[in-house]
Structure 1
Amino acid sequence: MTTLLESDEHKSLREAVSAFARSHPRATGPAEARHFWQEAGKLGYIGVSLPEAYGGGGGGVTELSLVLEEMGAAGNPLLMMIVSPAICGTVIARFGTDEQKQTWLPGIADGTRLMAFGITEPDAGSNSHRITTTARRDVATGDWILTGRKVFISGVDIADATLIVGRTEDARTGKLKPCLFIVPRDTPGFERRQLDMELHATEKQFELTLDDVRLPADALVGDEDAGLLQLFAGLNPERIMTAAFGIGIGRYALARALEYARERTVWNTPIGAHQAIAHPLAQAHIDLELSRLMTQKAAHLYDAGDDMGAGEAANMAKYAAGEACVKAVDQAVHTLGGNGLTREFGLASLITAARVARIAPVSREMILNYVSHQTLGLPKSY
């Protein structure tokens, strides 16, 4: 499924990824997901947005979001695509030292290394200004010492390291001054606890504890005084990729519903002939297509270096895609009736998965706040 806005190169990439993803069975467990990830990495799909100098494809978020959407449309939406190449890979590529780039980007690009991202805290979800994970310098050694907690961090168990967002101690009473640190998985004091989630996903969720985690000076990514700029350089791609994630899931669900509506007959008539079935599915398709256009706009603005314009568009794309995804999945299940809840058709698990696109990494209510304040110029209520 291509659009007029795509170049011939993008259309070819979309077709290739679609063919690859559909040739693999839907991953229902960690082993299958890992195999799919590794195969995608070998073909260059994981690192399509990373610099060629470090093993990537030299593209941008536009190409990466296209890859994730087609994987989702084939039934294999990879959550870690949002995290490892899009957030962590982008931040390191833009702001990391040469040594950090050499160490991490080739592995992230070919899928042999994974990096998780830790920003959310128990008391600092949407309000990132309340982050309390602190980083202080050991004057004697130059090391950094991190203390704090993180929650709802994806894939920490399979990641080689986690990009942790902390704040310098002198920022406690002033403006947010985030700093980003690469914390290897087995670093002393860096502990994880798996959260008991009802959501069925191959990537698990974790609570992290950093108890005086000591890191060398070169664990800091970028400039200590430019952390906010660096942080949003990763958060905008996160929103764009979440939109692509939702669009892919929505397309997968819609395709299953359309197939069923064409074949299932009642009183010798396919149920898809009835407007009560056909119109909601048509509306779901329209909403997904509109979401994709906004996602493409956001990706284009980001790749063009327009961080401010990309921020607005990325939020709106994420909002639109989250809503479209939930509605598409709901209508697909409704179209199949009882069959929509069976394991055979693979839709029931998407009911909870679709909610992720609506509430993470930022809720729809906070996006509405952003648009009302930043775009429409309305006053804040908080």
Structure 2
Amino acid sequence: MPDFDESPEHRQLRELVRDITAAHGPAEYADHARRAAPEDGLWSDLGKAGCIGINVPEEYGGGGAGMQELALVATESAAAGCPLLLLLVSSAIGVEVLRRHGSAEQRQEWLPRLADGSVKLSFAITEPDAGSNSHRISTTAERDGADYVITGGKYYISGIDQSAAVLTVARTGVDADTGRGRLTLFLVPTDTPGLSWTAIDVAAQIPDRQFTVHFDRVRVPASAVVGAPNDLGPLFDGLNPERITAAAIAVGIGRFVLSAAARYVSDRSVWGVPTGAHQAVAHPLARAKVEVEVAAVATARAAWLHDAGRPAGEAANMAKFAAAEAAGHAVDAAIQAHGGNGLSADFGLLPMWGMARLLRIAPVSSEMILNYVAQHSLGLPRSY
């Protein structure tokens, strides 16, 4: 089980991430969020310090660590006011899939640059008519000689405008027994002819933009397949790290907003005592703090199970659910504790609300996690 005595190495990593993030800070993050401008400077600084690629194997220039350390990076940067959405896409899904299933050539080409943060990867599976039902995706990849030709579209794809390549799930056949689509994972450079994207106008204040992605007969060589054709193993091996990192970001958001709220209600006095002395103000913050720290334990356990090679699906899903719910409650309590100032741009809480609210929907919705727990943890009949 996880050792709750923090190691010196983890303490040093936590302090390093905090120091680097503090040099950018929540005011910069809020400005980027309002403009939908990526936090490239912070990403670059964390990359140069070895934090972005901390889970990349050492032979490729990475930190040689695991999900426990990546989760720590995600939590601490968010707790310092700068939650980085693409950590769960590029560093979690991208790195974990390539290190486990990438060919020697794919690993050599991509992992060193993922290690230093000089490139990012995005991930494309969601489609308008498929949602969480991946077997209904209609994007196809048809074999044409030595190549595959990908045709179709993806929806709500994060940060493809910043990415050098996109991990793309496409249908490559149909299972004769079940009628479900056979799915294959491809690594598609974003400068490939026929690949384009259109920004989605999202009102939530988040630095990383969302896109509709178009594949107009995008031709890639067979070497672009990650793993083997018609093999879902690489895809599933990226989902637990994605959920763990999402949970870690949510925990960091919760800690940031609760710390900000605690300072505010300790300093503000309108009835002769600090507003935080009133239980109507204090109790929602305290309850949210309990939820965030319980989620932090669940996240640490899920990361430990993943790194230990143990089954982590249940733990990763539960951690993501608990952390996303806790972050949402924490942001709401923090905004309420600030009163009208909770909606003021000067206090920087709305960008945290946008990210926290997103994490209840993506990368997997809270409802789908409850379906998973009902079926796999409780043994209830499948509901979808």
Pairwise same-fold verdict (TM > 0.5): yes
Structure 1 residue matching 2:166: 3-state secondary structure: strand
1:270 has 2:274 as partner: yes
Partners in 1 of 2:123 and 2:156 — Cα distance? 10
Q: Which amino acid aligns with 2:139?
A: T
1:15 corresponding residue in structure 2: 15
Q: Which amino acid aligns with 1:354?
A: A
Structure 1-normalised TM-score? 0.95
Partners in 1 of 2:137 and 2:40 — Cα distance? 32
> Is the Cα contact below 8 Å between 2:205 and 2:351 reproduced in 1?
yes
Cα distance per residue 1:113-150 (max 9 Å; x no partner): 11110010111111112112111211xx3101111110
Cα distance per residue 1:218-263 (max 9 Å; x no partner): 11111124x2111111011111111011111111111110000110
Q: 362, 378, 381: which is aligned to 1:379?
A: 381
> Is the Cα contact below 8 Å between 1:17 and 1:71 reproduced in 2?
yes
Q: 204, 209, 218: which is aligned to 2:214?
A: 209
1:80 corresponding residue in structure 2: 86
Partners in 1 of 2:301 and 2:152 — Cα distance? 37
> Is the Cα contact below 8 Å between 2:206 and 2:354 reproduced in 1?
no
Q: 50, 54, 59: which is aligned to 1:53?
A: 59
1:204/1:326 Cα in 2 relative to 1: closer, same or farther (>3 Å)? same
Q: Which amino acid aligns with 1:370?
A: Y
Q: 318, 341, 344: which is aligned to 1:342?
A: 344
Partners in 2 of 1:315 and 1:252 — Cα distance? 23
1:160 has 2:137 as partner: no
1:189 corresponding residue in structure 2: 194
Q: CA deviation at 1:170?
A: 3.6
Structure 2-normalised TM-score? 0.94
Structure 2 residue matching 1:57: 3-state secondary structure: coil
Q: CA deviation at 1:17?
A: 1.3
Q: CA deviation at 1:5?
A: 5.0
Partners in 2 of 1:258 and 1:352 — Cα distance? 21
1:58-69 equivalent positions in 2, closer than 5 A: 58-69=64-75
Structure 1: runs of 5+ lacking an equivalent: none
1:303 corresponding residue in structure 2: 307
1:221 has 2:223 as partner: no
> Size of the alignment, in residue pairs?
376
Structure 2 residue matching 1:202: 3-state secondary structure: coil
Partners in 2 of 1:123 and 1:31 — Cα distance? 29
Aligned residues with identical type, % of pairs: 51
Q: 113, 122, 144: which is aligned to 2:119?
A: 113
Partners in 2 of 1:5 and 1:211 — Cα distance? 53
> Is the Cα contact below 8 Å between 1:116 and 1:156 reproduced in 2?
yes
> Is the Cα contact below 8 Å between 1:178 and 1:231 reproduced in 2?
no
Partners in 1 of 2:204 and 2:266 — Cα distance? 30
> Is the Cα contact below 8 Å between 2:371 and 2:383 reproduced in 1?
no
1:347-366 equivalent positions in 2, closer than 5 A: 347-366=349-368
Q: Which amino acid aligns with 2:10?
A: H
Q: CA deviation at 1:356?
A: 0.9
Partners in 1 of 2:16 and 2:283 — Cα distance? 31
> Is the Cα contact below 8 Å between 1:240 and 1:298 reproduced in 2?
yes
Partners in 1 of 2:286 and 2:342 — Cα distance? 18
Q: CA deviation at 1:9?
A: 1.9
Partners in 1 of 2:228 and 2:289 — Cα distance? 44
Cα distance per residue 1:82-118 (max 9 Å; x no partner): 1111101110111011111111111111011111100
RMSD: 1.6
